[in-house]
Amino acid sequence: PNVQSRIQGVKETLDGTSWKEIGGGVSPADCGDDVEIALDLMQQLAVHRSSEGHVDAIIPVGGWPMYNEIKWREFVNDHRHLKLIVGDSLGVQVELFNRRYVDGLVGQEPYRMGEFAIDTLWKIKKGDPIDDIIEGPTLLEMLRNPVRRTPREKEMNNIRNLAILGHLFFVVVVGVMLYFTGWTAVLHRKNERVVTASQPAFLYMILGGILVFASALIPLTVDDQEGRYSKKGADIACMCYPWLICLGFTTAISALFTKVWRLNRLFKSAQRMRRVIIRPQDVLGPFFALLTANVIVLTCWTVLDPLTYQRVDGEGTDHWNRVISSHGKCKSESSAPYLYILVGINLAVLVLANIQAYAARKIHTEFSESYYIGILMVACLQAIMVAIPVLFLVQGNPRALYLVQSVLIFIASMSFLLLMFLPKVLFLRNLRREERKKREKDEQLQGREDPDDIPGEVTSSEHPGNGEGGNAPEGRKGERMQRQNSLRA
């Protein structure tokens, strides 16, 4: 009787609508509460063809075909065009509903029914007013597309105004880089030792690498926010980001690596009393090898499986099982192998650079350059070791992920620029300050032409300790000239 009542309820509900039941004795079909028979009947109905047309929807009034979860999934995957509304709402059915393997469920809620009954009895006990007719939540309706739905408020988790921070970081890095570039070019033209001794070619490589590396802040701000960028623009930005990060880091770190390697080789040759000449072009081999390896991997990634901007649904849903949040993410089908190879290549070079810097820790150069390079190498290695777990933890929060990446790029860029150029700027400034003070002191000493202007000197011929009379002033003047000459020296 219960099943017959359900069938009758479905027919009455569909009566007068555009839906029609397939005739010819095909519907309704009785499975006798057997799961396998129910699935066989579902297959027959799904492929049924008649003069009335094909089947567009199947409504099992009981959950029997869904009790075999594996075969139900296979059935749904083979017939995605069907609309499926199933009776009952057991746990396996709700789980399949949440995974979008059924369009709707209608069943009882025994726990809520009991809870509602207890609440009503408690109101009677306390003397609270109750309705004459009590209607409890006797049915549970879970519909993928309900007839009446409240407007959905979906959080898109776009970067929004945080993009200003990335642009500000980029402007600061470019401004500092341009200042140091101009400073290096001017002093290089003047043949200043503070620049020529540091090999201008390496300094320009560092500046160019940091410019490319910091440029990754721009595609990082691109998302699919309405009115800002197109889907195609977001896809291009996704693939530009690893190119800029890898090429910029490769250029900067290889310049430091080859510089420290060159210093170690010269020092070891000097210890062995051997003369060796290393030209800048002789140490560019590691740079081109590292650059070529990165370009090959990035090119294969771009051609075979490029990153695209995709929307990823969040975990929460509303009462109608609609997604209430999503976030944009650069994804591809198999990006992990390319990413692991790139990280491995650049991390290996960073470790080798740290080894070279450690070997050069006792080498004292004119401007303490090896000391600052060693600090920079260790700082880069520590930053990467800390950044990897932090980036992994904030994967589900796009704004936090954007902030962490932006701050890391900014700090890394400024560390390279300040540690490699600021000590040179300060050294030259202090050197010129000392030269200016010395020049002023020399001018003051040269301006004292009269011996009487020197306090504490006795020029009289009657000095008690002088036995040569009038020759005493000449002797004092000669001593003064000797002191001036020694100061000039």
User: How does pLDDT run across 297-312, given as a tens digit for each residue?
Assistant: 999 999 999 999 988 8
- The residues near 364 (Cβ < 8 Å, ≥ 6 apart) are 370
Mean pLDDT, to the nearest integer, of 8-13?
Answer: 84
Cβ atoms of residues 162 and 132 within 8 Å: no
Q: Which residue has the tokens 């297959």?
A: 43
Q: What is the DSSP letter of 14?
A: H
Cα–Cα dist 61/55, whole Å? 17
Amino acid 466: pLDDT: 43
Query: What are the helix (H) ranges across 145-284?
Result: 163-189, 193-196, 200-214, 217-220, 231-271
CB atoms within 10 A of CB 199: 17
DSSP class of residue 133? Answer: S
Find where tokens 């549970």 sit. 140
Specify burial of residue 133 (Cβ count, 10 A radius: 0-12, 13-18, 19+). exposed
Tens digit of each residue's pLDDT (9 = 90 or more) over 419-472: 888 888 888 888 888 888 888 888 888 776 555 544 444 444 444 444 444 444
pTM: 0.60
Amino acid 214: pLDDT: 95
In the predicted structure, residue 481 carries a pLDDT above the cut 60: no
267: left (phi over 0), alpha (psi -120 to 50) or beta: alpha
Helix (H) or strand (E) holding 417: helix 398-446
Q: Which amino acid is at 146?
A: P
Residue 209, both tokens: 């690498």
% of the chain beyond a pLDDT of 70: 77
List the single range of 108-122, 137-151, 224-238, 394-408 with lowest mean pLDDT.
137-151
